[in-house]
Amino acid sequence: MTLATSAFTTYSAIGNREDLTDDIYRVEPTKTPFWTGISRAKAQAVNHEWQTQALAAAAANAQLEGDDAITSDATTASVRLGNICQIARKSPRVTGTQQAVDHAGRDDEMAYQEMLKGLELKRDVEYNMVGLATAKVTGNSSTARKLASVMAWIKTNTEKGGGTAADPTAADGTSARVDSATLTAFTEARVQSVIKKCYDAGGSPNTIMLNSFNKQQFSSFTGRGTPTQDQSQKKITAAVDTYESDFGRFKVVPNQFMRQRDVFVLDMDMWAYAPLPGRSFMSFTPAKTGDSDAKIVITEWTLESRNEKASGGIFDLTTA
């Protein structure tokens, strides 16, 4: 077929309206399972503090009937811990012209950009808590304050690689985990080992959190049995979302912001997001300095590790 003589085509036409839908599509991850799943607390100072309490070890305890010789038992003092409030910020800016013109997919450009920056800030909060191995930094006029991430707290119940791998020197957020150059395979036996360590330490973890690579590894563990196929539903099940251990049931939760070399075994109730009052994902308008408008979206928060013995981790895992 050939084009009819003198047929007027879109290629030469002037004035055809553009076809731009009012839909805008995003694929970047916005789920934050750690931040969403942990408890909420309230910080009152830049150095947010709390206490943990240990009990005396269980011992044989048999007393004479009617014995009135009272001997005082040793008292175990509580331990005072703290973490530093970190400031995270996103700042959209839109010119007066861009705010005034007609937009596809949003009515208000500034409101749209403010919403996007809020999502980005939420991702940053998750990443700073579970994706970085960061010890707390007090900060000063030229150094930003930093909170101690999960990996700076978990010390007691761990499985790690060989070589230079080392747990934090103290379970108080002051030192970061030392990664090993020697990576080891992620196995069900290692998960069971950390769960047992948590139980023996008195913890009751309930969540196994891991990245996408290790989530697929977890779903292939032999303890799961054989993948099932429901022919009537045309459905194959080859995933593990719940793990039944000797010491309780666990949710298996993927987290896109974790490193591939880490797997956490967590008691979610023993971790908390603790913002300063009025500083949790708040937005304000700074002074206008020209023909544009800006917003500042900010959160100032810290991570509360209520007792690291309730959780554990498998570290220095192979990533391929």
Of 74-78, 104-108, 192-196, the range with the highest mean pLDDT is 192-196
> What pLDDT does 213 receive?
94
C-beta neighbour count of 174 within 10 angstroms? 14
**304-316 pLDDT tens trace:** 999 999 999 999 9
How far, in Å, CA of 175 to CA of 180, rounded? 16
DSSP 114: H
**What is the average pLDDT across 252-272?**
97
Tokens 């991570």 belong to residue: 303
Confidence of residue 78 (pLDDT cuts 50, 70, 90): very high
Q: H-type helices in the chain, by residue range? A: 33-37, 96-100, 109-130, 188-200, 212-219
Q: Work out the number of other CB atoms within 10 angstroms of the CB of residue 63.
A: 7
312: enclosing H helix or E strand: strand 312-314
pLDDT of 122 higher than 90: yes
Domain parsing of the chain, residue ranges: 33-51+79-314
What was the pLDDT predicted at 236? 47
Higher pLDDT, 21 or 124: 124
Which range, of 85-94, 213-222, 233-242, 299-308, averages the lowest pLDDT? Answer: 233-242
The whole-number average pLDDT for the span 270-286 is 95
% pLDDT > 90, the chain: 69
Task: Decide: 20 and 104 in contact? Cβ < 8 Å.
Answer: yes
Copy the structure tokens of residue 4.
């009819």
* Burial annotation 145-157 (CB, 10 A radius, 16+ → b, else e): bbbbbbbbbbbbb
> 33-51+79-314 — its CATH code?
3.90.1690
Q: Write down the pTM of the prediction.
A: 0.86
According to DSSP, the residues that pair with 242 across neighbouring strands are: 251
Task: Average the pLDDT over 60-83 and give the result.
Answer: 89
Name residue 279's amino acid: R
Q: Residue 145: what pLDDT? A: 97
C-alpha distances in angstroms, 294 versus 87, 101, 287, 298?
A: 18, 17, 8, 13
d(CA 131, CA 43): 22
Strands 263-266 and 312-314 turn out to be antiparallel
The chain-wide mean pLDDT, for the chain, equals 90
Distance CA 161, CA 238 (A): 28
In this model, does residue 52 exceed pLDDT 70?
A: yes
